[in-house]
Amino acid sequence: MGMWASLDAMWEMPAEKRIFGAVLLFSWTVYLWETFLAQRQRRIYKTTTHVPLELGQIMDSETFEKSRLYQLDKSTFSFWSGLYSEIEGTLILLFGGIPYLWRLSGRFCGYAGFGPEYEITQSLVFLLLATLFSALTGLPWSLYNTFVIEEKHGFNQQTLGFFMKDAVKKFIVTQCILLPVSSLLLYIIKIGGDYFFIYAWLFTLVVSLVLVTIYADYIAPLFDKFTPLPEGKLKQEIEVMAKSIDFPLTKVYVVEGSKRSSHSNAYFYGFFKNKRIVLFDTLLEEYSVLNKAILEESGMEARKDGEGDSEEIKANVKNKKQGCKNEEVLAVLGHELGHWKLGHTVKNIIISQMNSFLCFFLFAVLIGRKELFSAFGFYNSQPTLIGLLIIFQFIFSPYNETYVCYPRGTEGWS
């Protein structure tokens, strides 16, 4: 009887209260479920102290132990950062952080001579303040992750000055993209009429394709140095592998990732017949800046023929060297190219755009519901940007969780 009475009481509450309560309840339910799964995985990290039989031929005990301890530290960090994020989000909702920031944005606009009728201008100020708040509150966690966890396990290569300069640059570049795109999207929604959701979807599709096209050529070089992979055996083998699956390779680049981290990666980009491959220098044993530093420290840079070097020094350098041999690089790259060959990239784009269209359509259906705005503290106004935030982030959260869990795009497709 008590449970049913509670349910009856909940349904008797105003619609906006029910919406707000449901959003908070779902958010904490997802958080607790994901925390349970993470803690279950953490127990595996703690109890599995020996190399599994399946990996015995390809991984030594020292490497396995390093990986295990790294994952333990990462899981601890993830727990506390996740808890903080959930509490922060809850407090923002409970204490009206979103309507407060909207009013603050309006005051800033008023100081500049823009009244309430300049909703898009106020929306851009809101976005600027919101992303600034997010950057500042996330900074301590990012610093700890980089200079404590990554440093402890030998992955971090950044200085504090480089880190801060990089963070400021990322924030500025983000604003240069976010604010113009957001202003155009809001304008399209405002003037689009009954079918604005189609125009908004098409606009976001074009923007996403443009960003994918220009990212590696114009945005990424703002942060990292890209150089063509020198002629040699590795480049020839990459070209042969690309040709064997009819991958339209035009260029192969090496990006200087070693100035940030010793983690490795590889990816490809481009449309149609203009595909390019990017390899992190930390992936390449014979190219890594880190390996050159190791050689210099060992006194071997000037004696590449190995004469006069003790076996102990050679073994030390071999154990310290970063990166993969050519056949290992090809294996990593083969995994990435396999996604292209099997059509995962195209499938991912199609599914993502179907999802995007559905979300904009449902947004068009729900944007006129005043109770959605009232649930989050907007009683006298219904700003378009706030509607996007409420509906896409909160109202769609159950659907978003289902969509995120659906196997799409990469390993989920076979």
Q: Annotated catalytic sites, by residue? A: 336
Query: Is residue 94 within 8 Å of residue 20, measured between CB atoms?
Result: no
Whole-angstrom Cα distance, residue 341 to residue 396? Answer: 33
Query: Is residue 282 within 8 Å of residue 258, measured between CB atoms?
Result: yes
Query: Is residue 274 within 8 Å of residue 216, measured between CB atoms?
Result: no
Whole-angstrom Cα distance, residue 106 to residue 103? Answer: 5
Residue positions counted in the chain: 414
Of the candidates 386, 409, 404, 391, the one whose C-alpha atom is nearest the C-alpha of residue 23 is 391
Q: Residue 295 burial by CB count (10 A; 0-12/13-18/19+): exposed, middle or buried? A: middle
Of the candidates 253, 248, 247, the one whose C-alpha atom is nearest the C-alpha of residue 230 is 253
Whole-angstrom Cα distance, residue 55 to residue 407? Answer: 26
Q: Give the tokens for residue 91.
A: 């407090």
Q: What angle separates helix 61-94 from helix 97-111, to the nearest 10 degrees?
A: 70
Positions at the binding site for Zn(2+): 335, 339
Q: Which residues contact 169 (CB under 8 A, 6 or more apart)?
A: 222, 223
Positions at the binding site: 335, 339
Whole-angstrom Cα distance, residue 276 to residue 329? Answer: 16
How far separated are the first and last CA of the chain, in Å rounded?
50
| Maximum CA extent, the chain | 87
Of the candidates 384, 374, 286, the one whose C-alpha atom is nearest the C-alpha of residue 329 is 286
Of the candidates 389, 309, 331, 356, the one whose C-alpha atom is nearest the C-alpha of residue 204 is 356
Placement of tokens 């992936």 in the chain = 283
